[in-house]
Amino acid sequence: MRNQEQTRHSALIIEGDPSSRSILGSSFNAAGIDPIYARNSAEMWRQLANEPDVVILDLCQKDTKGLDLLRQIRLKSDIPVVIHSSHSSDIDRIIGIEMGADDYLPKSCNLRELIARTRRLIKRTQSFPRLHSEHRKIHFGQWTLDPLAQELYGANGQRKQLSRYPFEILSAFLANPFEPLSRVFLSDVLKRSHQPCDRVVDVHISNMRRLLGKQADGSSFIKSWRSQGYMFVAEVEARQGTTNHH
């Protein structure tokens, strides 16, 4: 466990280029965030054991693809990840976010912006701890969500293991049925700051709609709300759950 009295945070910088690594390290150190370095995937796993507060990931890695590293991180950890890469197209950004990155900035960005977003991300992550102390299974439509296992079960035997973002968004909707949730609120749920023209929430909502399908009456579980956000429109019931699904 991290020392509760520690005031400085740490950032694991996964960067193969020595010059970029040095510049990033100096910038973070000057901003009061201790840099930890990894030049490749092997060093990344060793450094993650030191429990950094955030990961700064360059997608251009010599030994493996950066997105593969992101996928591997997300399978084992909820640590915040900021992609900082020379790949800056909208497609690269959307793919990175869909795969679990919390933010995505091109290398051409001002380093002050990178530092500022990293600080906000750390703050939001520590302000929204994930607490699922009760083993309650949540029922809606033809679906049942097991929060502890982060698994979604369908009445027809479907079984879906949810990754971090889909689980957090669905949990927020199930906790607030028939209540409009703004994009800013949903961004907070994902522990990231909402930016103008930010499509991250919309992408995840679109994926969630495809996953859940239609209700018995043919309507969607998630309704758009006056271009400002979304609303979950189905009855939700939570019960203590011990029944095993097969």
pLDDT tens digit sequence for 129-184: 443 434 578 899 999 998 888 899 998 888 999 888 888 889 889 888 888 888 88
CB within 8 Å of 172: residues ≥ 6 apart? 181, 185, 186, 189
**Is residue 140 in a domain?**
yes
Other residues' Cβ atoms within 10 Å of the Cβ of residue 94: 14
Contact (CB, 8 A) for 28 and 71: no
Label residue 240 by pLDDT band (50, 70, 90): low
Strands (E) across 44-194 are located at: 54-57, 81-85, 103-106, 136-140, 143-146, 151-154, 159-161, 180-182
The Cα–Cα gap between 149 and 69 comes to: 23
More confident residue, 188 or 110: 110
Mean pLDDT, all residues of the chain: 82
pLDDT over 90 percentage in the chain: 34
Asked if residue 208 has pLDDT above 70, the reply is yes
Contact (CB, 8 A) for 15 and 24: yes
Q: 179 and 122, same structural domain?
A: no
* Number of structural domains in the chain: 2
Q: 163 and 115, same structural domain?
A: no
Query: Which residue stretches of 176-229 are H helix?
Result: 183-189, 200-212
Give one word for 150, left, alpha or beta, with left for phi > 0 and alpha for psi -120 to 50. Answer: left
Tokens of 85: 């890469």
According to DSSP, the residues that pair with 180 across neighbouring strands are 231
Q: 14 and 92, same structural domain?
A: yes
**Is residue 91 in a domain?**
yes
**Is residue 1 in a domain?**
no
Last residue of a domain, one of 127, 149, 171: 127
Q: 147 and 77, same structural domain?
A: no
**Is residue 216 in a domain?**
yes
Asked if residue 221 has pLDDT above 80, the reply is yes
CB within 8 Å of 46: residues ≥ 6 apart? 38
Asked if residue 245 has pLDDT above 60, the reply is no
Task: Return contacts of 218-221, CB within 8 angstroms, 24+ apart.
Answer: 221/140, 221/141, 221/173
Q: 14 and 113, same structural domain?
A: yes
Residue 103: helix, strand or coil by DSSP?
strand
Last residue of a domain, one of 127, 147, 178: 127
Average pLDDT over residues 73-77: 81
Residue span of the structural domain in which 235 resides: 136-240
